[in-house]
Amino acid sequence: MPPPPSAKSVGASPAQEASDKTPDRVLFGFWVFLMSDLIFFGVVFAIYITMVGATAGGPGPRALFDFASLLAQTLLLLTSSLTVGIATVALKYERSRASFLFWVLITLLLGMGFLALELHDFASMAAKGGVPQRSGYLSAFFSLVPLHGLHVAFGCLWMIVLIVQVFTMGLGHIVKLRFLRLALFWHFLDVIWIGIFSVVYFGGWVYG
């Protein structure tokens, strides 16, 4: 009596199986990228920590930081993490393009609001003499915080491109996979910001 066919032979074709594995491979590769980016941020954090006291007689954290603005930035970014999560749920369960795009657009606006406040803070710091070349501390600060801001700006650009793709390509498999990577990237930026707020801003206020 011949052995029963295996689950693999009964199931999808090899091409279909490869297609099913593609999202897992892509997301795993993106996780590897995020971990490498985390290591890079860790190195910049370490440099900043070693330079905290190197103000060279220039302005320090208490003279430069606007905590009302920083609180607003934190609320905007953390709220954007919630809205991108809601967009993920809308994409998975509601399958409504309008609902999905609404929450992506809200996330984009929150991210742009964060960037606007951050740029305003940088301009305010420069007006007080807080420019990168003033001291080792400020050089380290402007190596770390704007690096995160550039990531947020890239995430906002990614959202704009994704919105255009939804209108031109619909909510197909490729667009969904791209959004899942964007959502991972955005949550990653929130984690980095919590570290920046705790170490750079709150730590600078306490020990600066």
CA 15 to chain CA mean position, Å: 34
Residue 16: DSSP 8-state: H
Helix runs in the chain, H state only = 7-10, 14-50, 61-64, 67-89, 97-127, 136-169, 173-196, 203-207
Q: Tell which residue, 166, 190, 156, has the closest CA to residue 38.
A: 190
Confidence of residue 13 (pLDDT cuts 50, 70, 90): very low
Quick one: pLDDT at residue 94?
Answer: 64
Cα separation, 204 vs 47, in Å, equals 14
When divided into structural domains, the chain yields a total of 1
Dist CA 73 CA 77 (whole Å): 6
- CA–CA gap between residue 36 and residue 53 (Å, rounded): 28
Predicted TM-score (pTM) of the model is 0.85
In a domain, 31, yes or no: no
- Specify the pLDDT at position 2: 45
- Give pLDDT, residue 6: 44
Task: Tell me the per-residue pLDDT of 75-134, one tens digit each, with 9 for 90 and over.
Answer: 999 999 999 999 999 988 867 789 999 999 999 999 999 999 999 999 999 999 999 999
CATH number, domain of 115, equals: 1.20.120.80
Domain span holding position 122: 66-195
Q: What is the pLDDT of residues 138-152, one digit of tens each?
A: 999 999 999 999 999
> 180: pLDDT confidence band, cut at 50, 70 and 90?
very high
Q: Does residue 148 lie within any of the structural domains?
A: yes
Does residue 202 sit within a domain?
A: no
The verdict on residue 12 lying in a domain is no
Answer whether residue 37 is part of any domain.
Answer: no
Look at residue 14 and tell me whether its pLDDT is greater than 50. Answer: no
First-to-last CA distance in the chain? 80
